[in-house]
Structure 1
Amino acid sequence: MSDRDAFVSRFGGVFEHSPWVAERAYDRATATGLSAGNVHSALCQAFRAGLPRERLAVLRAHPDLAGKLAIAGKLTADSTAEQASAGLDRLSAEEHARFTALNEAYTQKFGFPFIIAVKGLTKNDILTAFERRIDNSTEEEFETACAQVEKIARLRLQSMLPGDENA
């Protein structure tokens, strides 16, 4: 396995199901050293340089919060842990119905799922953000979702490359 292949294998899932981000970030990331901060910077630069349709595909690769994939146990390990940390795996029937309705309305309006870095948030924090952001314009929400994807990537890298909390 080449160094590039090993890098993509290790970091290709940091941006949900989007190894192209790691492929394009390889040269920059390895030139500056494999710290969480350096890898995050290189991955974000590659993501932001992607075509709008490529960035949209990254957004669409994210699962709904407390959605069908979570119920079926088919989330990535990272997504499962992230959603569980916010209590989304322990919703009441009423809370689940609210998440489902918001997921459907949001996806219908924007064409991609609601994305938020859930670490450190409660289900109520997430619902509040959901209800506030659903009124955003498409352009504003696309940028907000992209920023949240980058935050999720930073958190994932910090767990993969401990000791670099400033990523």
Structure 2
Amino acid sequence: MRIEEINALPPDAFVARFGFLFEHSPWIVREAAARRPFAHIVDMENAMAAVVAGAAHIDQLKLLRAHPELAGKAAIDKTLTHASNEEQASAGLDRLTEAEFDRFHDLNRRYRDRFGFPFIICVRLTDKAGILGQMEARLGHTETEEIATALAEIGKIVHLRLRDALA
């Protein structure tokens, strides 16, 4: 789609087309739609990022909590969103050894216990070892640091999803 076509979409059609960008959080795309017209796709991304940055703390936490755990229950019972399923598979999270599976579950539990939301990383930009290393390292973050890191990772995820959707 060209930016002119994106700008011309009615708000509901804009959300229908791009609501998947943020995991179970189409409200971000809905709010960004009101900031049109966009001069470029980068402006669209920036508008969505501004919605997230300007959201109340509780809404940012809802966004974080809307994400699935990596190699977690949703992956096992096949209830991940299509995008999340493809992303986790791209990092090999659908092909874990028993030891890797146990390590992911232990780190997921420790992370969620510490921060109250699942570990979020742009899995398409790393691999299993990188993810596990980041899970360990980020357990040492403060809550403020980790919220900022997780939101930045969501920005990377959205960038890649949008790029794919417009390819």
Give me the TM-score of the superposition, normalised by structure 1: 0.92
* Number of residue pairs aligned between Structure 1 and Structure 2: 159
**CA–CA distance in 1 between the matches of 2:12 and 2:119?**
31
**In structure 2, what is the equivalent of residue 49 of structure 1?**
54
Q: Which amino acid in 2 is paired with 1:80?
A: N
Find the counterpart in structure 2 of residue 26 from structure 1: 33
C-alpha displacement of 1:120: 3.1
Q: Quick one: distance in 1 between partners of 2:165 and 2:68? A: 21
In the alignment, what sits opposite 1:127?
132
- 2:42 equivalent to 1:58: no
1:100 equivalent to 2:105? Answer yes
CA RMSD of the aligned region, Å?
A: 1.1
Which amino acid is 2:13 matched to? A
Structure 2 residue 19 is the aligned partner of structure 1 residue 12:
yes
Aligned to 2:5: none
Q: State the alpha-carbon separation in 1 of the partners of residues 45 and 22 from structure 2.
A: 10
| Paired-residue identity, % | 45
1:104-125 CA-partner distances (Å, limit 9, x unpaired): 0000000000000011311001
User: For residues 110 and 27 of structure 1, what CA distance do their matches in structure 2 show?
Assistant: 32
What corresponds to 1:85 in structure 2? 90
User: Per the alignment, in what secondary structure is the counterpart of residue 124 of structure 2?
Assistant: coil
TM-score by length of 2: 0.92
Deviation at 1:38, TM superposition (A): 2.5
From 24, 27, 44, the counterpart of 1:39 = 44
Q: Which runs of 5+ in 1 are unaligned?
A: 163-167
- Shift in Å, 1:27: 2.5
State the 1:13 CA deviation. Answer: 1.8
**Corresponding residue of 1:69:** 74
Per-residue CA shift, 1:82-131, capped at 9, x if unaligned? 00000000000000000000000000000000000011311001001111
Alignment partner of 1:101: what SS? helix
Query: Structure with the greater relative contact order (CA < 8 A, sep ≥ 6): 1 or 2?
Result: 1
TM superposition shift of 1:34: 6.1
Q: Partner letter of residue 78 of structure 1?
A: A
Q: Deviations over 1:25-81 (max 9, x none)?
A: 0022x311462x222111111111110100100000000000010011100000000
Gaps of 5+ in 2: 1-8
| Misfit runs of 4+, over 6 Å | none
